[in-house]
Amino acid sequence: MRAEEQVARMLRMVPYLSAHQGVAVAEVARVFGTTPAQVVRDLEVLQFCGLPGGYYDDLFDVDIEAAREEGHVYFRNAEVLRRPLRLRPVEAAGLLAALRLVVEVAGESDAARSALAKLEAAVGREGQRVQVAVAATDPGRRSELAAAIAARRAVRLTYRTPGRTGPSEAVVEPARLHFVAGFTYLDAWSRPREAWRSFRLDRIEGVDVLDDKADDRGEPPSAWFDDVARRLTITVAPSARWITEYFPTTSVQESEDGIEVTFPVASTQWAVSLLLRLGDQVRSVSDDAMSAAARATAVEALALYPDAVG
């Protein structure tokens, strides 16, 4: 299942569950076109969602045991969704950046494009100053690879390798597409090398989907970026724990001030964008230069939004 499909479903589930206390898990599955087991998995995620802060009263109150053992859903503490949302300037800038990133990486997302258009209309011309830098990739190529992954088909890649003259070819079994530090990557099993390999999409020049079925190779490794020399360590509030699941990390530790997370950094611009997105959830930054760059960018963004949002 695609992550964006799960997120979209969970966003629709919140008001439904708030209005249907005690509804059967099976009925929720029927309404949202999924399975009871998936509904329970969604609830396991939703119990850690809610308002910034991450404390008990900030989160949705989900009776997960009742869902698992009795087959009924009790969902409370979601009244905040009834209040109109008003964004602070820095929040609007961060949301604009995030939506533009989604559109750049997954251009076929009509929902993301619609949300971006509405937010751009709300903030006006000042929103044009918020820029997102993503390595350019062919949307059609990404769609081909996504279809091959879904159909479990092998593909023949033609790609460029730094330091080599001319393109290379390899037959691979694609496993997943993911975005890290400004670049989209394909993780795939290389048949010639009989090992997992990662390919940057902006270096792939051709994709030929084959009739061969891809074998079950299990999950590809997650630590592709261990060879990146630069590291950034930040301490964040508990409400920002999600970053440990969405980005590659080399260390995650609990501390008195929050959660200490270390990332491999392939791009300074990506690191600055992450700090801006986290905003006041960041409590300390190990790299003074990146911290200063993020502060300067935030000050510039705030100056653009004196009255555009509430």
* pLDDT tens by residue, the chain, 310 residues: 566 778 888 888 888 898 899 999 999 999 998 999 999 999 988 888 877 655 556 688 889 899 999 999 998 887 656 555 566 666 666 666 666 666 655 555 566 667 767 766 766 555 455 444 444 456 678 888 888 998 999 999 998 876 567 788 889 999 888 766 567 788 889 898 888 888 888 888 889 999 988 888 877 766 555 545 578 899 999 888 878 766 777 788 888 888 999 888 767 777 888 888 888 889 999 988 888 888 888 777 667 655 544 4
Could you tell me if residue 37 is inside a domain? yes
Could you tell me if residue 132 is inside a domain? no
Q: What pLDDT shows up at residue 234?
A: 93
Q: Which domain holds residue 32?
A: 3-82
Q: Which of 82, 100, 116 is at the close of a domain? A: 82
Q: What pLDDT shows up at residue 227?
A: 46
Could you tell me if residue 11 is inside a domain? yes
Q: What pLDDT shows up at residue 154?
A: 93
Could you tell me if residue 199 is inside a domain? yes
Could you tell me if residue 158 is inside a domain? yes
Q: Which of 186, 213, 240 is at the close of a domain? A: 213
Q: Which of 213, 247, 264 is at the close of a domain? A: 213
Q: What pLDDT shows up at residue 127?
A: 46
Closest CA to 273 of 247, 254, 294: 294
The tokens describing 102, both together, are: 């989604």
Could you tell me if residue 64 is inside a domain? yes
d(CA 101, CA 267): 15
Assign residue 56 the CATH number of its domain: 1.10.10
Enter the pTM of the model.
0.39
d(CA 301, CA 279): 12
Q: What pLDDT shows up at residue 105?
A: 56
In the chain, the number of structural domains is 2
Could you tell me if residue 195 is inside a domain? yes
The tokens describing 188, both together, are: 């795939």
Q: What pLDDT shows up at residue 193?
A: 83
